[in-house]
Amino acid sequence: MRPLKRLNFRSLQAFEAVSRHMSVSHAAEELGITQSAVSHQIRQLSEELGEKLLVKQGRGVVLTPAGSKLAQRLQAAFTDIGRSVNEVIGGERGRVRIAVCCTFGPGWLIPRLPRFRALNPNFELQLSLKDKETELTDAIADAFITGRPREPGFTTMLIREERLVAVSLPELACGFGQDLPLVTTQTQPCKTGNDWRQFVRIAGLDIDGPPGGHWLLATHFMLALAMAKAGLGAALVPDFLVQKELGDGSLVRLADAFMPTGDDYYLYIKEGRKNEPALENLARWFRLEALRDSLPEPIARKPMRLGASAAR
């Protein structure tokens, strides 16, 4: 392979843009050149490297294994270049991109953002949703909130442990353990309802399962919560997801037990970037919010203990 200094920078730039958009037309629009010019640059780069980098698929393109590896490196490199230029010319230093899992974002982070904005009125946050397969790269975000195992090269901070609570509409609570349907997020055929089986053991409740043995199935906590709020049954959801509803009484807890899941939420920041002022500020705020969560809260409503064991 030729030395990097002899490669055409415009070809690298064109390929990096296509790899982000997965579209030649969108890359051309971003770069302000024609689609044919982008295609020419990528053909030139493929010839220089002796590797096919992408192939057409329908109206779009897909990366080859070699193209995927190169795209990952180039996206990180161009992000570093942009950051360096901004530092020199005084660009946007207060904007931070956070990739957050879809339960924790709406349920924990967003309700706290008014406090963050009050403390940091000139600080810009850009939020995006991530899944378990999202790579922790600069091309995607500057900071990540995830429950995945620790990874080398990142500094991590525990924000919140995930604990499930059982909730339903107040008017349905008296049917818990008798005729109140149960919503489970354990939907695999061999594991259906395992979350409730574990919860009733922890709570000391004498409940065998849902009425008639029929579960209501939801593949996500947000769906399970929506089903409970619609009066379809009782749901097991993270406690931070129902703080507002429990506070205003629109939902009630069906037992005073918490069930830890082990899927805790961590803030991930690349080790080499943790001392950047914006990221330091962000980490400091998350640390304060985590401390706020650890303090005991006044109990607005006494949790209900229902089911066959309630008389114990």
- Report pLDDT digits (tens) over 81-130: 766 665 554 444 457 899 998 889 999 999 999 999 998 888 889 999 88
Looking up residue 224, the CATH number of its domain turns out to be: 3.40.190.10
Q: How many H-runs (helices) and E-runs (strands) does the chain carry?
A: 10, 13
On whether both 212 and 241 belong to a single domain, the answer is yes
Q: What is the largest CA-CA distance in the chain?
A: 80
Q: How many domains are there within the chain?
A: 3
Phi, psi of 280 (to 5 degrees): -60, -45
Tokens of 30: 């971003």
39, 59, 89 — which closes off a domain?
89
Tokens of 269: 């920041």
Q: What is the mean pLDDT of the chain?
A: 84
On whether both 120 and 62 belong to a single domain, the answer is no
pLDDT at res. 206:
86
pLDDT at res. 312:
27
Which domain covers residue 198, as residue numbers?
Answer: 163-261+299-311
How far apart are the C-alpha atoms of 122 and 117, rounded to whole Å?
8
89, 111, 140 — which closes off a domain?
89
On whether both 233 and 280 belong to a single domain, the answer is no
pLDDT at res. 74:
87
On whether both 66 and 20 belong to a single domain, the answer is yes
Strand partners, 63: 54
60 pLDDT band, cuts 50/70/90, is: confident
Q: Is pLDDT above 70 for 299?
A: no
Tokens of 63: 């990366």
How far apart are the C-alpha atoms of 202 and 257, rounded to whole Å?
7
On whether both 55 and 19 belong to a single domain, the answer is yes
39, 71, 89 — which closes off a domain?
89
Q: Is pLDDT above 60 for 297?
A: no
How far apart are the C-alpha atoms of 183 and 204, rounded to whole Å?
19
